[in-house]
Structure 1
Amino acid sequence: MLLALPAADVAVLFMRREVLLGRGLALLAAWVLLNLIGSGYYLAHADRRQEAFHFHGMNVLWNLVNAGLAAWGILRLHFSPPAGLDAAELLNSQHFYETLFAVNAGLDVLYVLAGSYLRRRATRPNQTRPERLLGYGRSLWVQGGFLLLFDGVMWALLHWLARGWPPFVA
């Protein structure tokens, strides 16, 4: 059984979380734009035989995906609480978002590890196109590292935000 909260209190808690999510998505969108502009420029001027070409190419592709995710998240933001929102729904959606960012942080660790694997594999003797593996690996380090920081901070902020909520009794 959940503690009964007035609808106005549930709405305030919901909107605080939506503002936090919106700011996080704005940061992700800024990262996307920075990468698409910067890496897009350098990709157009890079030599295809160099690591930099593959690094910037992977950054552009990675951030096209990030752009889709950021846009999807932004479109899902609410500017007012849904009608009939109650404490149970608020708590369930809070759990969903915290789990989402925690799982994403775990995936981000895998991205960084995959980048290390590709960079190590590039040093093997007789490796064809080591510059490609080096560039892709470095891109996985940068993108995975940023996303690990982003997802970890978002999880922590969401978790911290919910600590200030009234106690829910299970």
Structure 2
Amino acid sequence: MRKLLYLLLLLLLPFVTYAQSSPLATFNLEQASTLRTGMLVLGGWAILNILLASFKLTTTTRARRYFYHMNLYWNIINLLIAGIALHQIISSDKEAMALAESIEQHIWFKKVLYLNVGLDVAYIFLGAYLEQRSKTALLKPERLQGWGQSVILQGFFLLLLDVVLVVFLESIDEGLFILLPQV
């Protein structure tokens, strides 16, 4: 019975310490959780695309082949980005961060995400341009068409992901800025 009680206490200990942490540590953990979830979604999307593209490259031809080529290359980069970001998020100590560092990091994350939203829109326009250009291209129009379709798909996914992450980070702003001392 005693062993069971100790085991239960060990299992509940992380939740007890989380509940007793400071509001700043709670904010940092919530932000890290949001970003970690976003990077896991990006990594999952990348793995799914890599597997699907690898399989489809053996069976498709013409424009679809270029579509899957671009998806494969694009998502190798997505997987690297997600892995590096996850490593950074997981390895930093959220509870030891000072208020100034938390504010600086929060603003930096939001700036990066807003920049990414702009890049995502640019990707969509680039993909549309490539697809439109394929209609008049003399050399390998199927390549431009496949690449354009792939860039549009990836741009829309990244836009959706980045907008959701921005909305979540904006929604927790008040939790951070309420901790600022009154001047």
* TM, length-normalised to structure 2: 0.82
How far does the alpha carbon of each residue in 1:50-84 deviate from its partner, in whole angstroms, 9 at most, with x for none? 1100000000000000010000001001364263x
Q: How far off its partner does 1:9 sit?
A: 2.1
What amino acid is the match of 2:38? Answer: G
The secondary structure found in structure 2 opposite 1:151 is helix
Provide the C-alpha distance between the structure 2 equivalents of 1:163 and 1:38, rounded to a whole number of angstroms.
41
Provide the C-alpha distance between the structure 2 equivalents of 1:78 and 1:123, rounded to a whole number of angstroms.
46
How far does the alpha carbon of each residue in 1:128-167 deviate from its partner, in whole angstroms, 9 at most, with x for none? 1100000000001000110011111111111112233352
CA RMSD of aligned residues (A): 1.6
Q: Give the one of 80, 89, 94 matched to 1:77.
A: 89
Q: Give the one of 66, 69, 84 matched to 1:57.
A: 69
Provide the C-alpha distance between the structure 2 equivalents of 1:143 and 1:95, rounded to a whole number of angstroms.
26
Q: Give the one of 81, 93, 103 matched to 2:105.
A: 93
% same residue: 28
Q: Indicate the residue corresponding to 1:154 in structure 2.
A: 165
Q: How far off its partner does 1:8 sit?
A: 2.2
Equivalences for residues 65-144 of structure 1 within 5 A: 65-78=77-90, 80-81=93-94, 83=96, 85-124=97-136, 127-144=138-155
Provide the C-alpha distance between the structure 2 equivalents of 1:163 and 1:43, rounded to a whole number of angstroms.
48
The secondary structure found in structure 2 opposite 1:164 is helix
Provide the C-alpha distance between the structure 2 equivalents of 1:144 and 1:40, rounded to a whole number of angstroms.
20
Q: Give the one of 45, 54, 60 matched to 1:40.
A: 54
Alignment CA distance shift 1:82-1:165 (3 Å): closer
* TM, length-normalised to structure 1: 0.88
Moved over 3 A (4+): none
Q: Indicate the residue corresponding to 1:3 in structure 2.
A: none
What amino acid is the match of 2:37? Answer: R
Provide the C-alpha distance between the structure 1 equivalents of 2:100 and 2:118, rounded to a whole number of angstroms.
27
Provide the C-alpha distance between the structure 2 equivalents of 1:93 and 1:78, rounded to a whole number of angstroms.
14
Provide the C-alpha distance between the structure 2 equivalents of 1:96 and 1:87, rounded to a whole number of angstroms.
14
Q: By percentage of residues, which structure has more helix?
A: 2
List gaps (5 residues or longer) in structure 1. Answer: 1-6
List gaps (5 residues or longer) in structure 2. Answer: 1-20
